[in-house]
A = this chain, B = another copy of it.
Amino acid sequence: MTESIESYALDDQVGYLLRLANQRHASIFQSHTLDGLTPTQFAALIRIADLGKCSQNRLGRLAAMDVATIKGVVDRLRQKGFAVVEPDPDDKRRTLISLSPEGEAMVARMKDVGQQITNETLKPLTAAEQRSLIRILRKIS
């Protein structure tokens, strides 16, 4: 008996399950999204829409993205023509990010799609479970 007693069930660990849930959501997102927008890019876009013009670092903080990550995301949003980048006249360290008209239109269109994506992701759950999941995820985030 050198074997340990079935001590660790990978399939019951939060970390592993969170990874799987993320995979499923990303796959659903990709099948519904417009212009190849990724979940991360969409989150950043929504934040810019809510915040209005703001610095890149601030946007990153509010969208829960690393400074290095938000830079790449903003670059891609700019390349796609959704975000506008300009230097802050009042603080030469800062870069101000805002939405282009195309970005505004994209946000409007994607909000409906986003709701669909959420619904489809939550479809295997009862209404009570859906509320429960959101509430619990907010507690551990």
Contacts and interface: CB of A to CB of B under 8 A. Distances in A.
The complex is assembled from copies of this chain, and their number is: 2
Given A4-B111, A108-B4, A111-B4, A15 B117 contact: yes
A43 interface: yes
Given A4-B111, A15-B29, A18-B18, A43 B140 contact: no
Given A15-B117, A108-B4, A134-B12, A141 B47 contact: no
Interface residues of A, number: 48
Given A20-B64, A22-B18, A125-B140, A13 B111 contact: no
Contacts of A117: 15
Interface string A52-65: 00000000000010
Interface of A: 4, 7-8, 10-26, 29, 39-40, 43, 46-47, 50, 64, 108, 111, 114-115, 117-118, 121-122, 124-125, 129, 132-134, 136-141
**Closest 6 pairs between A and B when the two form their complex, measured CB to CB:** A20-B141, A17-B137, A8-B111, A10-B46, A15-B25, A133-B136
